[in-house]
């Protein structure tokens, strides 16, 4: 499967929303093609390089497909889009086009079936409810109903202020329960560092 890549300084997760301002010609063209064909593009986290200019040199080999859910012309004249994370993928091969757009061969990562929340997930669910009340999170209009471990794990991994490397490790985990356990371990570590 070939997917155009949009390297960013963020890690997108399935079921999560991201607002972007598009101004570079290569990405305006990519967005136009995606909208015509009803397809998506891949968001990968930049590990070395910048979001603007020539193609990023270093980026994560794991990413998340993004589908455009809304778009509008911003007051500053730029194109604003809101995307939703869909499927996780691993990059197997890339090619830089003349306009510096990255095209990748990707392999979709299998999702394990969602599971209902456990009693021990209640603290994490309460944390997500509290996060959802923050104005910046509220503005994203992400789904409020948490029906299982998958959406709880994805939204927490996306919204919590973990470093990119930790977020990429979380994105690579297939099982929702394992992802929740890893999030709890990261929170425990942060708490230990705060009170050390």
> What SS3 class is residue 109?
coil
Residue ranges making up the domain that contains 67: 2-108
pLDDT at 119: 92
Residue 43, φ and ψ in degrees, nearest 5? -100, 120
- Can you tell me the mean pLDDT for 127-149? 85
Same domain, 54 and 13: yes
114 in any annotated domain: no
Same domain, 25 and 92: yes
- Mean pLDDT over each residue of the chain, to the nearest integer: 89
Q: Identify the band that residue 43 occupies on the pLDDT scale cut at 50, 70 and 90.
A: very high
In terms of Cα–Cα distance, which of 60, 163, 150 is closest to 106?
A: 60
- Can you tell me the mean pLDDT for 15-27? 91
113 in any annotated domain: no
DSSP β-bridge partners for residue 73: 79
pTM of the model: 0.90
Distance CA 28, CA 34 (A): 10
- Residue 3's CB is within 10 A of a number of other CB atoms, namely 23
Same domain, 21 and 86: yes
């Amino acid at each position: 499967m070939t997917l155009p890549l949009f390297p960013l300084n963020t890690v997108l997760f399935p079921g999560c929303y991201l607002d972007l301002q598009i101004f570079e010609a290569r990405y305006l063209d990519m967005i136009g093609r995606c909208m015509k064909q009803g397809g998506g593009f891949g968001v990968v986290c930049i590990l070395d390089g910048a979001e603007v200019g020539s193609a990023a040199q270093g980026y994560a080999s794991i990413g998340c497909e993004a589908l455009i859910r809304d778009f509008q012309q911003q007051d500053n004249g730029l194109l604003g889009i809101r995307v939703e994370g869909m499927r996780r993928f691993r990059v197997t091969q890339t090619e830089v086009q003349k306009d510096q757009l990255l095209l990748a061969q990707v392999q979709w990562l299998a999702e394990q079936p969602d599971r209902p929340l456990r009693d021990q997930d209640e603290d994490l669910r309460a944390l997500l409810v509290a996060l959802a009340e923050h104005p910046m999170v509220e503005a994203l209009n992400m789904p409020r109903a948490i029906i299982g471990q998958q959406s709880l794990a994805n939204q927490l991994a996306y919204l919590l202020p973990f470093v990119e490397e930790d977020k990429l490790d979380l994105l690579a985990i297939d099982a929702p329960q394992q992802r929740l356990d890893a999030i709890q371990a990261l929170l425990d570590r942060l708490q230990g560092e705060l009170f050390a």
